[in-house]
Structure formats: structure tokens, C-alpha cells
Amino acid sequence: MTGSLLETMLSLTIVIPMLATLGIIVTGSNPNLREIVSLLASLLVLILVVNIYQAYDQGESISVFWLEVIPGITLSFRAEPLGILFSLVSGFLWPITTLYSIGYMRAHHEKNQTRFYACFAVAIAGVMGVAFAENLFTLFIFYEILTLSTYPLVTHSGTEKAKQGGRVYLGILLSTSIAFLLVAIIGTWQISGTLDFSSGGVFPENTSTSILSILLVLFVFGIGKAAMMPFHRWLPAAMVAPTPVSALLHAVAVVKAGVFTVLKVVVYIFGIDLLQTLPATQWLLYLAGATVLLASLVAMRQDNLKARLAYSTVSQLGYITIGALLAVSAGIIGGAMHIAMHAFGKITLFFCAGALLFVGQRQYHRVTTNRRQLEQVVLAGGHTGRRSNAVNGCFANKLFAQYCLPDANTGPRVLFRQG
């Protein structure tokens, strides 16, 4: 493939979902046509990201420039390994989620379905923008597009409970990104003079470790979509949304954009060598470990199935954050693998949860349907979660465990460091 064709394909991964949004709105009065537009757009994006992966795997360099806002700050995109992985996961799960949404939304006779599919498409455009962002400015723009486009999905039912959940969702994600993430981006620009992602990091060697530690804390807490405690409440609050939205939040888009951004900041802004020297890294690792443990304990106390899955997601995101903050290549690989594994496993669980809720029972321990029927519902979507994801999870956890054992010589302080 020629360079110009690859650049066009990279741009189209973002443009096609936006065009699909217009198509969905125009065809909103015809449900069949509206859903065909959504499905075709999702399949086209999947084909594009697969071709981008194949070209990159053959050694092609793929980047595209859209706009220079001010000198040195551009809206531009580039394909790199982490972004390609994230785009492949999201691109593959979008058509699957769309198919599920068609059945779910029709069966429940949901209102405002045109708005639902339109916002879904905008969210996927945001995901692709985050995945292929060449710099922090571009990533921030599409990170916020993703936040704003998913708010109408969270509040879709229009009930007071949904509106309250939406306020918590939007309030936490916007406040963390503006108060922390934006400040961290500005600080990075002031210190390094660039926002471009660069392998090995962007900061000068003589930069104070105290200042860099502050920036690291701002980045980790500012990326609210990673759901690090105590900025995690937006995720359980968003479970008032329809099940396809929950699948979008947990598997396809939102939380994966969060932990993907954490990985990208660690690798391309700080660099793993520098991260190992920062005092804040160790304490953030302990906080991520506490998030894993506490969220798991809370999940086990939940009666509502979707709430339990939400806190389970908070815990699993903590593992990915740990992988990033280990500041070793195996931790980055393990975290990236866990993004893919968790996406497939959690979307399966939410699809099963939606099927169970459709039967009419919201409390998992009070399910009174025919046992054989219940088994068929769970098994129909559960094979991936029980088999292939177990294998992938073992690989990811092995990589984490390899670098999370205490060092016999230096003791507990290196609990999360390579000896």
C-alpha cells in the first residue's frame, strides 16, 4: 500500500464513525436502515484497523497531520503498537455490540434509539482518536469527546436515577481531566517543550524528580477513566444505563481508553527507565494494589449483578495500572494483554447480564427462572469468558507476578519492582 492510502485509512477510522452519526440521524425514522448504517460503519472500521495493523506489521510508518493549532501543538495521528492493539479490540467489539444492541433495544422497546446509536458512533470516533493520537493534545481532545458522547448514553432512560448517575459520571470525569490531566499536560509542555509521544519519554535528564513525581500523580489521577480509587465512583454510578451501554463503558471504549492512556503516558511521556527513579511511583503502586483489593471486596458484597461487574472492572483496571507502573517491559506487555483479555471477558459477562435482566430478575441470588433455561442463557455467551480468557489471563498474570515478588535483599519496598 502507498503512504497516502495508509494515511487516508488512518483518518477514515475516525471520520467514518462521524459520518455514520450523520447517517444514523438522517435515517432515524427508518429503524432498519438506521441499524444497517451503524453495522456497515462498524464493519468498515474493523476492516480499516486490520489493514493498518497488517501494514504496520510489514514495517510501514503510518501517520497523518490534520491541523496545527499553535506552533508545536498539532492535531495529528500515528499508528504504534499500543494504539493498534486498542483499535483492534474496539474495532472488533463494535459490530458485536451493535448486533447485541439491536436485539436488546428492540426487545425492551427503548425510546430515543436514534440518539443512542448516534452517540455510540461518536464514542467510537473518540476511541479511535485516542488510540491513534500522536500527542497529548490530540489525545486530550478525543478523550473529552468520548466523555461527552457517552453522557447521553448513561442517562438514556431519562429517569431521576439515570440523571443522578449521569451527573456523577460527568462530574468526576470532567473534574479530574480539567483539574489534574490538563494541568499535567500544561506542565509537560512547559518542562519538555513538546507534547509529542516519544519512545523513552520527553523530559530532559536534569528535570527534578520531585516535579516529575507531581506530574505523574496528576496524570494518574487525571485519567479518571482508569477508575483509580478514590476517583472510581463514576463507574458504578453509570450502571443505570442500558446493558449495551455498560458493555461499551467496560469493554469497548471508556475504561479501556483510561488504562490505555495510562500505559501510553508511562511509555511515551515518562519512559520506563525514568519512572523507576520517581518516588511517587512506589506509592501509586500501593494505591493501585489497594484499588484491586478493595474493589474486589466491595464487588463480593453487591447483590445487583451489574454493580458487582462494575466493581470487578475497577479491580481489573487496577491490575493494568500496576502493570504500567511496574516500569518494566513485561509489565507493559502484561497490561496491554489484560486490556484485550478483560475487554472480551467483560463484554461476555455484560451480554449475559443483559439476557438475565431481560428474563426479569435484577437480583442475581433471586433468579427463579427454569434452571435449564438459565444455564442455556449463561453458556450461550460464557465460553469465551471461561476458556480463551482464562488462558490470556494466565499469561498476563504471569507477567505481572514475575515482577511483583518481594526482593530478598531489599525487602517490602520493592514489592512492585524488578529485583
pLDDT one-digit tens code per residue, 292-324: 999 999 998 888 788 888 899 999 999 999 999
pLDDT of residue 105: 87
Residue 407 pLDDT grade (very low, low, confident, very high; cuts 50, 70, 90) = very low
pLDDT of residue 241: 80
Tally of residues, the chain: 419
pLDDT of residue 359: 64
pLDDT of residue 8: 94
pLDDT of residue 251: 74
Rounded mean pLDDT, 86-90: 95
pLDDT of residue 317: 94
pLDDT of residue 242: 81
Flag whether pLDDT at 167 surpasses 70: yes
Selected residue with higher pLDDT from 356 and 69: 69
pLDDT of residue 367: 45
Flag whether pLDDT at 392 surpasses 50: no
pLDDT of residue 103: 87
pLDDT one-digit tens code per residue, 252-270: 788 899 999 999 999 999 9
pLDDT of residue 287: 95
Lowest mean pLDDT among 69-73, 185-189, 249-253, 355-359: 355-359
pLDDT of residue 360: 55
pLDDT one-digit tens code per residue, 199-232: 989 999 889 999 999 999 999 999 999 989 999 9
Flag whether pLDDT at 275 surpasses 80: yes
The three-state DSSP-derived secondary structure of the chain is CCHHHHHHHHHHHHHHHHHHHHHHHHCCCCHHHHHHHHHHHHHHHHHHHHHHHHHHHCCCCCEEEEEEEECCEEEEEECCHHHHHHHHHHHHHHHHHHHHHHHHHHHCCCCCHHHHHHHHHHHHHHHHHHHHECEHHHHHHHHHHHHHHHHHHHCCCCCHHHHHHHHHHHHHHHHHHHHHHHHHHHHHHHHHCCCECCCCCCCCCCCCHHHHHHHHHHHHHHCHHHCCCCCCCHHHHHHHCCHHHHHHHHHHCHHHHHHHHHHHHHHHHHCHHHHCCCHHHHHHHHHHHHHHHHHHHHHHCCCEHHHHHHHHHHHHHHHHHHHHHCCCHHHHHHHHHHHHHHHHHHHHHHHHHHHHHHHCCCEHHHCCCCHHHHHHHHHHHHHHHHCHHHHHHHHHHHHHHHCCCCECCCEHHHCCCCC
Residue 398 pLDDT grade (very low, low, confident, very high; cuts 50, 70, 90) = very low
Q: What is the mean pLDDT of the chain?
A: 85
pLDDT of residue 158: 83
Rounded mean pLDDT, 26-43: 94
Flag whether pLDDT at 371 surpasses 60: no
Selected residue with higher pLDDT from 26 and 246: 26
Flag whether pLDDT at 329 surpasses 70: yes
pLDDT one-digit tens code per residue, 114-125: 999 999 999 999
Flag whether pLDDT at 93 surpasses 70: yes
pLDDT of residue 383: 44
Flag whether pLDDT at 379 surpasses 60: no
Flag whether pLDDT at 415 surpasses 50: no
